[in-house]
């Protein structure tokens, strides 16, 4: 399993956390999503059915800015 980690801005509450978890979970190939609100970070585990650019676009589409 591949992993990617992003520091983000805009992660302010549980609703936003749930929203990004649900969006990433719908991507084909995503196997794990870990959102850390204290550190404003998102870690995603994925296989070869998806790639980092799709994950990044999904996070940005939900409304977060990647640092």
Average pLDDT (50-63) is 95
Specify the pTM: 0.92
The predicted model gives 20-45 an average pLDDT of 96
> What is the C-alpha to C-alpha distance for residues 49 and 47, in angstroms, rounded to an integer?
6
Residues 37, 42, 44: CA angle, nearest 5 degrees: 145
pLDDT at res. 24: 97
Task: Domains for the chain: give ranges and CATH numbers.
Answer: 2-49 (3.30.70.100)
| Position with higher pLDDT, 33 vs 10 | 33
Phi, psi for 34 (deg, rounded to 5)? -125, 115
**Looking at residues 17-26, what average pLDDT do you find?**
96
Q: What is the pLDDT of residue 62?
A: 94
Q: CB under 8 Å to 26, separation ≥6 — which residues?
A: none
């Amino acid at each position: 399993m591949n992993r990617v980690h992003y520091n983000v801005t805009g992660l302010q509450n549980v609703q936003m956390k749930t929203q990004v978890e649900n969006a990433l979970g719908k991507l084909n190939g995503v196997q794990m999503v870990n959102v850390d609100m204290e550190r404003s970070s998102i870690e995603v585990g994925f296989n070869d059915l998806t790639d980092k650019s799709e994950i990044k676009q999904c996070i940005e589409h939900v409304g977060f800015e990647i640092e």
